[in-house]
Structure 1
Amino acid sequence: MSKEKIWHLFSRKLTGEASQDELMELKLYIEDHPALLHEMDALEQLWMQDNEPDQDYLEATYLLHLEKMKKMGVEPTAPDESYEAEQPFQTSFFNRNRRRLLAGVMFVVIVMAAVIPFLNRKSAAGKLAETTAAIKQKVVVTPNGKNTSFQLPDGSTVWLNAGSKIDYSKINEAGNREVYLTGEAFFDVVKNPARPFIIHTSSIDVKVLGTKFNVKAYPEDKTVETSLVQGSVEVFVKNRPGEKYLLKPNQKLVLLNEEQTVAKTPLATTSKKDFNLPIIAITHLTYPKNDTLATETSWTRNKLSFENESFAEIAKKMERWYDVKIIFKNEELENEELNGDFSKETLQQALDALRFTSNSFRYKIEGKTVIIY
């Protein structure tokens, strides 16, 4: 199946026009080509946002990518208008005409994003760097309750979780590839052996050449984690000069956040399984039963997952996920270990689900505050 047809099917899925046969065809192709999954998820998140599209930017992007494709000998075609009679647009954020225009524009953009790397992998970084002019900000901040994804000037892709901040002002044409992260981000780094990609956090530095991995470094969390999905990474711990840790796929490095450990008593911040946790540990990623997506990276697909985690740590994740403040009136509840997997659930539905697995707590929602007792 051609790449043009795949992205054509994906654009029809976004607009709600794809038939069941087309959806199944797309699903089967993605299962055989999992590398496309993150790109499609990111574009689907963008499509579902409430914000009005910048029509001037979309038009300029359309013309830019159309010109590139013509130079490469690729002639993209917009979704066939004959499909219109099959099924009307479902209710969404945009009116009919705007969605048709946006679908066409997005189709060209995502075809370029997918086709260029397959046509000429060696020049992918150079072509993607041409989009630098479209990236005006050098710092991206996500508030609680929101996450986002975007491309860096070197072509690498970043998914930034809620309550996070990334500064990429040091990525430049001279080849410097360094970013500063507070919070959590998933990176799909374009490979460049001559230019290592480095992520700086308050407690660790992560060095890569080209790979997919997740870094979680929230100041308020008890641990800092680096989770490797593909490739290899080197982790340097700032308070241990001279030491470095090399991770293999499906491994993660867990570092105790010393500020949190010292500031609070172990009873209030750790579960029973963490009492003997070393300052640094290398473990395996967690995969829920019958799921190929690791818990550590599930947030990139708009899924909040946790397995055998203390209620206190789960509460921090839920605070960022739902943009609320959670207060425990019963400190003993903080150490209870729970499991959960939420995607489209509301805050109340999520809390009710947790209560279903544990009847030991009650809750009350007052505006943006949740009281657990």
Structure 2
Amino acid sequence: MKVEPHIIRRYLDGTGKKDDKEKIISWFSGSQTVTELRQGYKNYWNEMTDSLEVEGYNEEKILGRIYHQIKIEESKFPEKPAQRKYTQRVITIFTKVAALLFIPLTIFILLNKDHLVSTDSDVAWSEIYAPMGTRAKFSLPDGSTGYLNAGSSIRVPNVFKGKSREIALTGEAYFDVISNPHKPFVVSGKNIRVVALGTSFNVEAYPEDQINKVTLVKGKVEVFGEKNNKSKSLGLLSPGEMCVFNSTQSSSEFVRVDASKIISWKDGKLVFINEPFPEVVKKLNRRYSVNIVIEDERLNNYSYLATFEDETLEETFNLLKLSAPIEIREHEREKKPDGSYGEKKIEFYFKN
């Protein structure tokens, strides 16, 4: 299905017709090649350049604006059960687009009344989600800002009531917190909690990982380990320190790190500091929205020291093969019953 640039223009301007959103989603869903997507983007860019007041063709800006607008509409009202599958399909489509283009998409989100979802209580909340292959930049009600890494989400009240500013995190996020000595800023993950007053720090707390990490850039934070509904203080972090908490063993250690490298993901960089091969694969899966499977355990003995920024997935693979005997087999995406496509499966074998 072909969508003319003027349809996307009027949709983003708020002057579109009732079925414009469905047409745009169908276009994304039906575009199966990078060539199709890039050409569609470029046609739209040529129409929009004057109103955007920027120079140069920018795929991230186009995809980010469309994604943002759709998510605003989806979050205005609580979802009914029948709508959840539709919303998930939207997320899947945009994840696929970012993955096909191999761009670490950044979505810019400002929390306001258009994002709020009502609950049964008198407090409305917002949930911001960065699908695999994307990043999301956000601004919170108190003026604090931050970034969400791929496959991460935060849940935020529209107003910080009570004695603290509570944020629920799934995945990895960087926070630049506005100082308020009378109202601590609290970030809670599945197994870890961070309490700050005014500071900049990074929290890595993916629910599937037993290792949680908190890195302090500036200021001071206190880190708590959570297990069996019990909270235990792990200590205070100083700038340039990382707290590594093993939730399975309930053990922790504080180590000195280069904080600028730890948080470089928010600027589109992928930094490996002598990381084991399984950790490298995990980060590649999140960044490029693919399903890489290690088929030979011998590869787990390798570690990497490298920095990737603008490389495509293919270029990244070529660089990895310079440091380890890797043979790569790629499979085509499988089409799902709802018409969307699953993640691309890629197998890593030991090359003899």
Question: In structure 2, the residue corresponding to 1:220 is in which secondary structure?
Answer: coil
Counterpart for residue 211 of structure 1: 199
Aligned AA (1:197): F
Q: Deviations over 1:256-285 (max 9, x none)?
A: 241xx7xxxxxxxxxxxxxxxx92110112
From 269, 273, 276, the counterpart of 1:303: 269
Matched, 1:98 2:74: no
Alpha-carbon distance change, 285 to 329 in structure 1, aligned in 2, over 3 angstroms: same
Unaligned runs of 5+ in 2: 1-7, 16-40, 55-109, 118-125, 333-343
Q: How does 1:1-373 map to 2 (within 5 A)?
A: 54-56=12-14, 94-95=44-45, 98-103=48-53, 132-136=112-116, 138-169=126-157, 171-172=159-160, 176-239=164-227, 241-258=231-248, 279-286=251-258, 294-358=260-324, 360-367=325-332, 368-373=344-349
Aligned AA (1:133): K
Q: Deviations over 1:23-48 (max 9, x none)?
A: xxxxxxxxxxxxxxxxxxxxxxxxxx
Q: Decide which structure has greater strand share.
A: 2
Superposed CA RMSD in Å reads: 2.7
Q: Percent identity, aligned pairs only?
A: 33
Contact 1:213 1:228 in 2 (8 A): yes
Alpha-carbon distance change, 353 to 242 in structure 1, aligned in 2, over 3 angstroms: closer
Shift of 1:209: 0.6
Aligned AA (2:182): A
- Between the aligned partners of 2:270 and 2:178, the Cα distance in structure 1 is 27
Shift of 1:347: 1.1
Aligned AA (1:282): F
Aligned AA (1:335): N
Alpha-carbon distance change, 156 to 92 in structure 1, aligned in 2, over 3 angstroms: farther
- Between the aligned partners of 1:56 and 1:103, the Cα distance in structure 2 is 19
Aligned AA (2:13): Q
Scaled by the length of structure 2, the TM-score of the pair is 0.62
Q: Deviations over 1:205-230 (max 9, x none)?
A: 10001111100001223410001111
Alpha-carbon distance change, 247 to 343 in structure 1, aligned in 2, over 3 angstroms: same
Unaligned runs of 5+ in 1: 1-50, 58-90, 105-129, 262-277, 288-293
Scaled by the length of structure 1, the TM-score of the pair is 0.59
- Between the aligned partners of 1:331 and 1:286, the Cα distance in structure 2 is 30
- Between the aligned partners of 2:264 and 2:222, the Cα distance in structure 1 is 23
Q: Decide which structure has greater helix share.
A: 1
Contact 1:310 1:338 in 2 (8 A): yes
Aligned AA (1:154): D
Alpha-carbon distance change, 227 to 131 in structure 1, aligned in 2, over 3 angstroms: closer
Contact 2:116 2:158 in 1 (8 A): no
Q: Which protein shows a greater Rg?
A: 1
Contact 1:184 1:218 in 2 (8 A): yes
